[in-house]
Each structure stands twice: as C-alpha cells, then as structure tokens.
Structure 1
Amino acid sequence: MFDPLLVDLSRLQFALTALYHFLFVPLTLGLSVMIAMMETVYVMTRRTIWRDMTKFWGVLFGINFALGVATGITMEFQFGMNWAYYSHYVGDVFGAPLAIEGLMAFFLEATFVGLFFFGWERLSARAHLAVTWLTALGTNFSALWILIANGWMQNPVGSTFNPDTMRMEVTDFMAVLFNPVAQAKFVHTVSAGYVCGATFVLAVSGWYLLRHRHVALAKRSFVIAAAFGLASSLSVIVLGDESGYALTDNQKMKLAAIEAMWETEDAPASFTLFGLPSLTNHDTAYGIHIPWMMGLIGTRSIDKQIPGIDQLVDKAKGRIRSGIVAYDALETLKQNGTDADARSAFTRHSGDLGYALLLKRYLEDPRQANDQQIDQAAWSVVPGVAPLFFSFRIMVLCAIVLLAVFAISLWHTMREEEAPRWLFRMAVLAAPLPWIAIELGWFVAEFGRQPWIIEGVLPTFLATSALGVPDLLLTIAGFTLVYSVLAVIEVKLMLAAIRKGPEVAGVIEGWHPGTAEDVALSPQAGE
C-alpha cells in the first residue's frame, strides 16, 4: 500500500521546481527570437541603434538564460531521486528525448550563447547574426525535446508494455516524435514564450518612455514588441485551440473536467463561460452557457458529441475490469513465461493494465477487488474539476487581455501623433500576465492528467521512490531556500541592468532626432 503523504510531497516538490523553472524558460524563448530580429535589422541597415538594442536585450537574455539552466538541471535529477519507479517503468521511452535534449539541443544552445556574447569583435556582422539566429534555434530546439517527452506522458504512443521485462519499451520512435499532443504542445508553448518575451520588452520600454530615458532604444523596442506580441498572441490563441482539440481524441476526461461537463450533452455542446462546479453534487451551479461553442471548438463539427464525466467514469469501470484480466495474466506469466493462454489474454487486455493498477490504492491485489472498490477506482480518474475549470478561464482571460494590449499598442505606434502616457503605464501593468497565464496553463496540463503520471498506463501514486517523509520535507525546504536566493539574485540583476540601461552592455545610443522613424511614440520631453 502507498503512503498518501509521500506521494503528495513528491508531487509538491516537482510542481514547485517545475513551475519555478518555467518562470525563466518562456522569457528565454521570446527574447532569443526578438534579439535575432533586432540584429537582423542592424545588419540590413547598419544603424548602430539596432546593434545597441541587440546588446542591451542580450544582457537581460543572458541573465535569464543562466538562471533557467541552473533551475532546469535539478529537475532531471528528480526523476531518479523522487520518481525511481517511474524512471524504471518508462525510462526506455522517456529517457530518449531527454538524452537528445541534453546532448544536442542544450550543447547547441549553450555553445552559441557563448559566441553571441564574446563574438562581437571576433566575428563579422553576418557571422554574428548567424550565431544569434542559431542561439534562438537552439533555445526552441531544446524546448522541442522536453515537450516531446511531456507529450508522451499525456498520450503514450509508439510504445508498449513488455511482460518479460516489466517495462514500457519504444516500438515506433517516429510515432513518439510526431505525437500530435507533443506537436500541439510545442507550438503552443513556444508561442506563449514569444508572448512573454514581447510583453517583457514592451513593459521595460514603456517604463523607459514614462521616464524619458533611453528614448531611442525604448521607442524602437516598443514598436517591435507590439508587432511581434500581436502576432504571437494571435498564434497562441489559435494554437491553444488546436491543443484543446487534441484533448478530444486523447484526453477526454481532462477536457470534460476543464468544461465541468458532468453529463454528455446533445451535439453541439455548449461552452460554460462561468459557473460553480461541485464534485460532490456532480453539477455546475449558476452556469452561464454559450450554445454550440464547445461542440464547435472540441469536435470541429455540429453532430459529434463530447462525452461527459459520468459517461467517462462508466467507461473507466469497464476498462478496470478488462485490466484485471491483464493483471491476472501478467501474474501468471511471472510464474510461467511460456503459458500461451496467459500471453494471449495479456495481449488482448494489455491496453487496460494501467486501469487495474488504480485499484492498488485500495488493496494489494487488484484481482480481489469488489464492485465498490472498482467504483472508487473509476471515480479516481476524475481530476479536480473546480481548480481546472477556473484556472483555464483565468488563463484565457489573460490571453485576451494581452491580445488587446498589443493591438492597442501597435495601433498607437502606427499613428503620427504622440503616444499617450497611459499607453506606457498599461504596458508596465501588463508585465505579469504572460507568466500567470503560462503557469496556469501548465497547471491545467499536468493537474488535469491526474491520477496518471503516464496517461492510462501508470498511476502517479505508484511512481514514487522509496523515500521517507522527513527526506522529502528536508529537500523541499532546501529547494525553497536555494530557489528563494536565486530569485533574489535574478530580480536584483535584472532590475540593475534595466535601471542602468544600454550602458550595462557597454553601448551608447546612436539615435539622432529628425528621422521619419523617430516620430512615433516620441514624448516631447527628452527628445
């Protein structure tokens, strides 16, 4: 039998370190591409202001990159320390993309980051531009392999359980690589990173313009951030819809929980804009519904149904009973690996083995489960409906607000008159929104998969290491202390670099008044 506190603490530690690490990743993704765009303009125009912009934002990128690397390394070690059985059970599959990320993408990224900072006086302008774009490529390539690994946890394709080794093994690596869930997560996550980078540049530039400091750099940065952010926000919304559509085929329970859809509705289903879902009563009080919207989003049709939670729980009961057959056959194969009947039975029911393992929460041998325990196990596949329901809607609200911020900012930059000061205040106030949306997005993705650590294959409570509660309390306290120190260092370094401005990168603004591109956004004072 498992220790619930041990499982909860293991999940808490990984959640804290993962969410903390992902404070740095999206900004790295967004800044890397924006810096490459700025340097491209410099190489094309040879105007030194664009080189100065590249160097300045590059310093902030470097600070963030260093903290992202430091916090990311510890996450990979946790698989061996806190999730030993998980590593044993699926290491043959999960380890491959992680190894590729470490050996290829990380080293590619780190190498070109070094050349970016130390190659300004050693490389030609075109060669350095190539390095900058390769840095952005390496950053995005690194994210790809991590998200392939995570996508497999959400939708474990291209693999099968081997009863002889008692492990999951790869059967089709191309299926793992081109997993539709992984691909949807990659483009959506990268686009969210672009939004984060654009919002950061927009906010810092707005802060400079409010104080009439570094106007040449801030004005151009504001314009490029507004345009890049608007395009990225639109892509996030479109790709987020595509990511949600993937749930219809691969994670029906997560989709039903996000929408608090307790019963299957007639197609096309309505979208619940607001409500108060209750897992106890199996209903959503005070619901405000938009007819047809969920059916159109979730199925791209008007005649396909989206199954509700109650129907999915009934289906889970059948899969648990099928899994018990697979479990019984597997136990027979452990004693006699040549038993043809047992191997045949296992082959027919092996896809449901994970559902039988859900019963281990209630008893040691799933074959001895009664109807009540099967019902309990079936309802355990329902994640926390209320947290998912509200987290998803707050995330979407943040995305809509950011889209409006970028659209308004770009519209004002296209006008010939002076931009209002409230525009820059709005940009500064919007700074936290992408991080809120991104963290909530990861919460929805990971919490919505519970109780599975590998969807339909391995329950989370079976995946932990044989540690004691004091061990986990000690490591959580240690991580909290170290990460708090790193957070203080990060904030101080970033704020110091922002306050100092372009001088922190050893550059001097090369802007001279009077050119046509200097008209937009220029406050009268400070020009």
Structure 2
Amino acid sequence: MIVDPEVVGLSRLQFALTALYHFLFVPLTLGMAFMLAIMESVYVMTRREVWKRMTQFWGVLFGINSAMGVATGVTMEFQFGTNWAYYSHYVGDIFGAPLAIEGMMAFFLESTLVGVFFFGWERTTPLKHLIATWFMALGTSLSALWILIANGWMQNPVGAAFNAETMRMEVTKFSDVIFNPVAQAKFVHTVSAGYTMGAMFVMSISAWYLLRGRNIDFAKRSMTVAASFGLAASLSVVVLGDESGYTVSENQKMKMAAIEAMWETEPAPASFTLVGFPDVAKRETHAAIRVPWLMGLIGTRSIDEPILGIDALVKDATVRIGNGIKAYDAMLVLREDKNDAQARMLLAAHDKDMGYALLLKRFMDDPRKATPADIERAAESTIPNVPVLFWSFRLMVACGLWFIGLFAYAFWRASKRRLEGRTFLRLALWSLPLPWVAAELGWIVAEYGRQPWAIEGVLPTALGASSLAPGQVWLSIGGFVLFYTALAAVDGYLMVKFARKGPDGLGMWPPAPEPLPATAQAA
C-alpha cells in the first residue's frame, strides 16, 4: 500500500518542527548541568558563598529550560505511534529498547536528581549535594546517549536483520546496537555541542551584567568558568565532529557527497569546497573555491582512497535496487511457502538490498513490475537536497570556528583579569543565539541528509508513515504549533524575566549579612 505523499510530507513536517523545537532545550540542559556541577565543586572546595549563589542562580535558569525540554520531548516520542505507525511496527523491536531505557533515565534518575538539586540545599551536607549535582549532570548525558543510540541506528542499522516470518526487522546482537560507531560519534559530538551552548549562555548573560555594571564579582566569576569550559568544549566539538564526519563517509556515502556537492568522483585525495553554488540541474558547483586534499584526508583518513561522487552512488543504487527486487520476490515466495529453499537462499543473498527495492513502492505497488526507467527514477530519489546540506554544513562549521575564537579570546582576557572591555562584552552578548543556530543546522545535516531513508538502506521514509487523512495531520500540526508557541512564549518570558532580575533581584547576591552575636548587640 502506498501512503499518500501529502500525508508523508506533512508527517515529516510535523516531526521536523517538533524535533527542532525540542532541540532548542536539550543541548542547553546538557551544558548547564555540567556548568552547575563545576561551580558547586568550587563552592565545596572553597566554601566561598559567591560560588554557592552562582550555582543556585544559574540553576534557576537551568530548571526552566529543563522543564521545557521534558514537556516537548514527551510529545515528540508519541508521534512514532501516531504518524509513523508502520515505522514503529517494522523496527519497533530495535528502536523501542533505547527509547524505553532513555525514558526511565529521564523520568526516574534524572528527574529525581533534579529534585535533589533544587530542594536539597538545606536538607543534606554540601558534599552529598555536590555528588547529587554531578550525578544529575551525568544523568542528562546518559539520557541523551540512549536517544542517540536509537538515532545512530537509523543512520547505520547494525545488529539487526530482516525476519521473513514476522516481516519485521529484529535484533540479532544488541551490543552492536549500543556500540554502533555512528551512535558513539554522534553522542560525543552532540554532548560537546551542548557544553558549548551552556558555556555561551552563561558567558553572554554575564556579559550583559558587566555591560550594565551589575553583579560584577558574580558575573566575572561566571564568565571565567564559561570561558574555560567553553574553550575546551568548542575544541572538542571540532575534533569529535571530524570523527562524526568520518563515520558518515563510511556508512552514508550519499550524505557525504551531498554535503560536499561532489557530483563526480575525484581522484584521491579529494579536495574540500570552501564555498560554491551547487547547481542541481546541471550537476556542477559554480564559483567553487577548493582546498586540495582536505576532503580526502577528513573523509577517508588517507591519501589514496576516493570519496565517491553523487553520480557514481546513483549507479550503485541502481544495481542495489535490481538486487533488492530479487530479495523482495523471494520474500513474497516465502510468505506463501516457508519451506522454499531456493527462495530462502535468494533472500539471504540479497536481503541487504531489499530496502532499495522498497524505494520503488513510492511510485508503484509491486516493485517486481518496475521498468528500467522506474529503477532509474528510484535511484535518483536517493539524492538528498544538495544545496540545503551544502550550506547548512558550512554555516555550522563557521559557527564552530567562531566559538573557538571567541572562547579563546575570553579565556585570555579572563587570565589577564581584563573582562571589562565593552567591545568584547558586546561580542559575547550578540553571540548568544549562535549555538542554537549551529545546533539546528547540525540536526538538518544529520536528519534531512538521511532522506529518502527513515532507516538508512532499510526502510524508505515514504513507507514509514501512518495511513492518515491529510486533514488529520494538518489538525495535529496546528495543535502542536499552538501548543509549542504558547510554551515558547512562557519559556521566553520566564528566562528573560529571571535573567533580567539577576542574582541581586532574586535576593541571592550580595548575601545578607549574618546577625551579630548577642554580646555585640548588647554592647
């Protein structure tokens, strides 16, 4: 059965909107949690009140953001059952396990520790509270780990195989799913990006206080921590992003070719295109400025391995579609006769390519009836949106390089105790939105670049959607837009309100003087 293309497009739009919105909060939660743990560690070691107040104040903003992340994450996961029913049926045995573990961590471990952080200051010792804060920070990262294990499997479906009897993908080795190299690379890269966002958030708001001459001592200490942590995190993003890019070149060659707008396979090592203007119709990149060898070194870690171009990968997809049709035919034979040895052998030989045959179901009910023109059309559909990926990647990288430069400069100024420069403070303040821009661009590269696949090489997106009427999806999109707009308004209002109030406005700084001893009062 072919799902209405309009329904598929609307379901994709809804999931993209909710995921992009949810991802506004998750990275900041990751980064802020570790910033809080660092600040509280200094407080426990020094017992200086300013560090405790810093932890508590930034914790207020962390709490607002964390609550929004939980609220938006729950609704997003329900869409697998509402809008992507066949996806859930086909790969639920694999995809559901990491999500279930993440849910337990997020709603039991992480939420419990968040409660201890906010309500345990006067109910436990400083050391025990610090331990809870560190576990809260680790819990947020572990929660992200299981989400990214699930997502990494979508990018590189290891540890699973198609079962002709159940007509579903099933786990063959769960450890392969957990230690999937794509998932691990995505995890460390995403978490580092979150740390960078948290550091920029603290540094930018601290710069705003310094520009207005408020909470000087408080803001300088916050900015020093942010500069140090942010520099380490932003450098890690680049290093770990390189590893993430290498896994893409190994497992998602079409995505890599599209990111580079590489139409033809170049002699190894391939050059890297700094800027250019991809022309999809003519299959060339105009006004390209290239750096020799760089793409080959990044993508293959060698000087003699080529990176396949888009045209070569389309030809490869054509071959795989032909093999997949054989597997599809064998699968249908086995549905009628489970004891057909020849069909079982044919399926085993080509089952890795059956997903490519399913690309044809976007255009017809029975892939076995495909003509060479149909196969060519399906092969061409494996090309994602090249201009979008090309520019999203480059803008993301530009943001990353800016973060390194700004944090390095801030670290130098902090080491010289010269954080008051107004030009520097304005740059720090104006840079506040950039981590969110980079994070959303990274999501676009990772998820939009996977199209037309819901599961790379296994399940086309067009087959994963539920059989709904377009009006039903429009109704849910409208509901989500209204609900999320209201949440965005509340979140923005609260974040701005408490940031403007600052620790002085909330009565956290300067600390109230301790009462004099009774003998001194009598005197």
* TM-score band, normalised by shorter chain: over 0.9
Describe how 1:458-497 pairs up with structure 2 within 5 A. 458-497=459-498
2:133 corresponds to: 132
2:45 corresponds to: 44
Structure 2 Cα separation of the partners of residues 65 and 135 of structure 1: 12
Q: Is the 8 A contact 1:106 1:142 kept in 2?
A: no
Q: 1:136 to 1:264 in 2, by over 3 A?
A: same
1:519 corresponds to: none
SS at match of 1:285: strand
CA deviation digits over 1:403-428, x for unaligned, max 9? 11111111111114563111111110
Structure 2 residue 450 is matched with structure 1 residue 449 = yes
Structure 1 Cα separation of the partners of residues 332 and 302 of structure 2: 44
2:71 corresponds to: 70
Displacement, 1:278? 1.6
SS at match of 1:448: helix
Q: Which runs of 5+ in 2 are unaligned?
A: 514-523
Structure 2 Cα separation of the partners of residues 35 and 278 of structure 1: 47
Displacement, 1:511? 11
Structure 2 residue 280 is matched with structure 1 residue 279 = yes
Displacement, 1:248? 1.5
Q: Is the 8 A contact 2:215 2:509 kept in 1?
A: no
| Letter paired with 1:241 | D
Give TM-score, length-normalised by structure 2. 0.97
Describe how 1:103-182 pairs up with structure 2 within 5 A. 103-182=104-183
2:517 corresponds to: none
Q: Percent identity?
A: 62
Displacement, 1:118? 0.4
Q: Is the 8 A contact 1:106 1:138 kept in 2?
A: no
1:225 corresponds to: 226
Describe how 1:303-318 pairs up with structure 2 within 5 A. 303-318=304-319
Displacement, 1:506? 4.7
Structure 1 Cα separation of the partners of residues 10 and 199 of structure 2: 35
1:516 corresponds to: none
SS at match of 2:338: coil
Structure 1 Cα separation of the partners of residues 261 and 108 of structure 2: 43
Displacement, 1:104? 3.0
Q: 1:343 to 1:417 in 2, by over 3 A?
A: closer
Displacement, 1:106? 3.4
Structure 1 Cα separation of the partners of residues 96 and 209 of structure 2: 45
Describe how 1:351-430 pairs up with structure 2 within 5 A. 351-417=352-418, 419-430=420-431
Q: Is the 8 A contact 1:272 1:289 kept in 2?
A: yes
Q: 1:419 to 1:213 in 2, by over 3 A?
A: closer
Runs of 4+ in 1 over 6 A off after TM superposition: none
Structure 2 Cα separation of the partners of residues 368 and 504 of structure 1: 72
Structure 1 Cα separation of the partners of residues 92 and 65 of structure 2: 30
Structure 2 residue 295 is matched with structure 1 residue 297 = no
Q: Is the 8 A contact 1:295 1:306 kept in 2?
A: yes
Structure 2 Cα separation of the partners of residues 298 and 134 of structure 1: 36
Structure 2 Cα separation of the partners of residues 48 and 373 of structure 1: 71
CA deviation digits over 1:85-129, x for unaligned, max 9? 000000000000001111234311000000100000001000000
CA deviation digits over 1:53-94, x for unaligned, max 9? 000000000000000000000011000000000000000000
For these two proteins, the number of residue pairs brought into alignment is 512
Displacement, 1:454? 0.1
Displacement, 1:510? 5.0
Structure 2 Cα separation of the partners of residues 153 and 235 of structure 1: 24
CA deviation digits over 1:148-207, x for unaligned, max 9? 000000000000000000000000000000000000000000000000000000000000
| Letter paired with 1:344 | M
Q: Is the 8 A contact 2:193 2:233 kept in 1?
A: yes
Q: 1:505 to 1:179 in 2, by over 3 A?
A: farther
Q: Which runs of 5+ in 1 are unaligned?
A: 513-527
Query: What CA RMSD, in Å, does the superposition of the two structures yield over aligned residues?
Result: 1.2
| Letter paired with 1:129 | L
1:322 corresponds to: 323
Structure 1 Cα separation of the partners of residues 392 and 30 of structure 2: 23
| Letter paired with 2:269 | P
CA deviation digits over 1:440-474, x for unaligned, max 9? 00000001100000000000000001111001111
Structure 2 Cα separation of the partners of residues 507 and 124 of structure 1: 20
SS at match of 1:191: helix
| Letter paired with 2:474 | L
Structure 2 residue 271 is matched with structure 1 residue 237 = no
Give TM-score, length-normalised by structure 1. 0.96
| Letter paired with 1:226 | A
1:350 corresponds to: 351
